[in-house]
Structure 1
Amino acid sequence: MKAVYNFNAGPSALPKIALERAQEEFLNFANTGMSVMELSHRSKEYEAVHQEAIDSLKELLKIPDNYKVLFLQGGASLQFSMIPIQFLKENKVGNYLLTGSWSEKALKEAKLIGETTIGGSTKENGYRSIPDLSSLQMNEHDAYVHLTSNNTIYGTQWSHFPDISHAPLIADMSSDILCRPIDVEQFGIIYAGAQKNLGPSGVTVVIIREDLLNEDVSHVPTMLKYQTHAESNSLYHTPPTFSIYMLNQVLRWVKEQGGVNAIEKQNIEKAKLIYDAIDESNGFYTGHADKEARSLMNITFNLPTEEDNKKFLAQAKEFGFVGLNGHRSVGGCRASTYNAVPVEACLQLREFMNAYRK
């Protein structure tokens, strides 16, 4: 079979070694004679996987002891509701920083529950940039401040986060968690759907500061309470066991690469290969994002016309490049260079882009 270069925006590429290890264990995990998918989530064999995944995340992200790591379901989209239903109380305001479609969707859900405000937005320039930190509007009535750290559709990413103390900072890191080191202590909550940098779809990671688990949530349904899952180590009901198993395999791979610092170095190298092809094309390729706001994870660009985009994408597909179509809402082209996308794939895309232009 000819080589395939997977640039899908999500679900996306997984490390080959993680897939191979899962394949080896698929029918007989830990000498149980069963697949990990068949094991009871109460079994010691599965609980070892579950705990290893939690411990590995804590190690890789240097998560302090006063934070809990939860494995939930419903994707990041369910978090759009879980957060305000728990923390957006009377006389409080949910403060949302808008940088793209996913932060807009988070705001939309919060509006169904309580009062909201927009503390910063770059919608007026087509989401080509990130709000200037000095321009953000904060208020003492903020229940929390919410942002999306990386914007898959528009190809922008926060390089620095607002340093706030009057309310918890909450970040949707679905598309760039583990792509670079972060200071977890800047945040009250970090959440991320797994299907880009952590593993397959089906599990959502939530990292939550313990003091936020002391809120009065007597009005919240049991399954929507963070307390429920924190108190049971995310085993209140049957978790997505295979997705967590694969998450654990991916975390093992990250450690083998040298950890998050080594992953960041590789991500910078990969993104530069493609951004250079754009910048050195004399306008044949045009990046969507302003240079200072460019994402390491999603590289968005256009050719001179929409017809040119279509021809480029058709020929790229013939050469084995998968998933280069831009999001349906904006069109154009997008290369998603998540952690598991190898340098070689980005090098080959750069070569193709240069050859196609010539």
Structure 2
Amino acid sequence: MNKRAYNFNAGPAALPLEVLQRAQAEFVDYKETGMSIMEMSHRGAVYESVHHEAQSRLLNLFGSPSGYKVLFLQGGASTQFAMIPLNFLSEGKAAGYVRTGSWADKALKEAKLVGEAFVAASSESEGFRKVPDLRNLELPEQTAYVHLTSNETIEGTSFLNYPDTGSVPLIADMSSDILSRPFDLESFGMVYAGAQKNLGPSGVTVVIAREELLEQSPKHLPTILRYDTHYKNDSLYNTPPSFSIYMVNEVLKWIEEQGGLTGIEQLNRKKAGLLYEAIDQSEGFYNGFAQPDSRSLMNVTFRLGTEELEKKFVKESEAAGFVGLKGHRSVGGLRASIYNAVPYDAIAALVQFMEDFRNKNR
């Protein structure tokens, strides 16, 4: 096999090589069935065992809290932006949204199409370079739920701690940092994530929610947009993205092999620390975008002195085998997405490239 690229794509993103190799070995003939997992009926016992194993394995990583259900849905986090208010934002209620950047704003925009939504907290005044302090969050009595984005991939910011919202359900879009570190699942009513960053390939969206939130949905909603439909049918109401779910299960096995969420966090902090140190010690040649107390472990965003220099950095990095370092088109700059599956050696190689580039261009 030729040398693999240094993959810093924001999503779809790097997958563990070990997982890809296992999938390759089983691609044509899964467990001596004479079929690929993609060819099987989703009603058959072989696929259903993978489906249920992935659900159980995911909850086990969080300590198997009681009263929570894992759903496998489709449509990405963007569909969840609409499904959440459709299912939970009833007349006379209002939903609180924490504005931390691009993805939080998209979720808020969808909620406003459905019902009343308000900004519970925002870091807009700081240019979204940090996350707001939610320790003294004040919520109106009629608040249906509070929504936050745990990690902003575009701005490169992340919550280190989560608020206590009492009886008001806390819902989080964790698409870009789920399973990157331990957290108390029981402090949330629901978390959700598109798989294509830390969970597996694109095509499946994972929802983990309290069963009491999933059991009843408004009767006027289309069947496929109701959480209770998927809850009562164990995410098998319609044909699921079976291969993506199979891959999620394999990624979850790999996380267990790394020492679970505690082991993954240790590796992620080591990787992020190496890269942030290179930025901070560059004597101003590289400038981190996110403020230090809000820095993401998954998406490291930084700038150079001029856009011309940034374009040169991207061009030369691509020639050297680095992929995905150009910042999002909406904000520019540079970004290295260093999700769970990005190996430490890739970070070390990037740091060396950054040092060489600095020496040639300062």
How far 1:137 sits from its partner (Å)? 3.6
| Aligned residue runs from structure 1 range 289-304, under 5 A | 289-304=290-305
Q: Which amino acid aligns with 2:68?
A: Y
Query: Match of 2:321?
Result: 320
C-alpha separation in 1, matches of 2:62 and 2:152: 21
| Aligned residue runs from structure 1 range 167-316, under 5 A | 167-316=168-317
Check the 8 A contact 1:194/1:201 in 2, yes or no.
yes
The 1:17/1:216 distance shift into structure 2, 3 A limit, reads closer
| Aligned residue runs from structure 1 range 326-337, under 5 A | 326-337=327-338
| Aligned residue runs from structure 1 range 1-358, under 5 A | 1-134=2-135, 136-358=137-359
C-alpha separation in 1, matches of 2:358 and 2:281: 11
How far 1:136 sits from its partner (Å)? 3.2
The 1:148/1:115 distance shift into structure 2, 3 A limit, reads same
How far 1:30 sits from its partner (Å)? 1.1
Deviations 1:245-275 (A, max 9, x none): 1111101111111111000000000001110
Deviations 1:203-257 (A, max 9, x none): 0000110111344521221111111111111111110000001111101111111
Check the 8 A contact 1:120/1:137 in 2, yes or no.
no
C-alpha separation in 1, matches of 2:73 and 2:321: 35
Tell which deviates more after alignment, 278-287 or 116-125: 116-125
Aligned length: 358
Q: What SS does structure 1 have at the residue aligned with 2:46? A: helix
How far 1:3 sits from its partner (Å)? 4.4
Tell which deviates more after alignment, 195-204 or 3-12: 3-12
C-alpha separation in 1, matches of 2:287 and 2:217: 50
TM-score where L is the length of structure 1: 0.98
Check the 8 A contact 2:96/2:118 in 1, yes or no.
yes
Q: What SS does structure 2 have at the residue aligned with 1:251? A: helix
C-alpha separation in 2, matches of 1:135 and 1:319: 47
C-alpha separation in 2, matches of 1:26 and 1:2: 22
C-alpha separation in 1, matches of 2:217 and 2:4: 54
- Taking only the aligned residue pairs, the percentage that are identical comes to 59
Structure 2 gap segments, 5+ residues each: none
Tell which deviates more after alignment, 214-223 or 74-83: 214-223
Tell which deviates more after alignment, 61-70 or 107-116: 61-70
How far 1:166 sits from its partner (Å)? 3.2
Root mean square deviation of aligned Cα: 1.0
Check the 8 A contact 1:63/1:184 in 2, yes or no.
no
C-alpha separation in 1, matches of 2:34 and 2:151: 42
Moved over 4 A (4+): none
Structure 1 gap segments, 5+ residues each: none
Q: What SS does structure 1 have at the residue aligned with 2:145? A: strand
Check the 8 A contact 2:215/2:231 in 1, yes or no.
no
Check the 8 A contact 1:267/1:296 in 2, yes or no.
yes
C-alpha separation in 2, matches of 1:7 and 1:264: 18
Check the 8 A contact 2:304/2:333 in 1, yes or no.
yes
Check the 8 A contact 2:230/2:237 in 1, yes or no.
yes
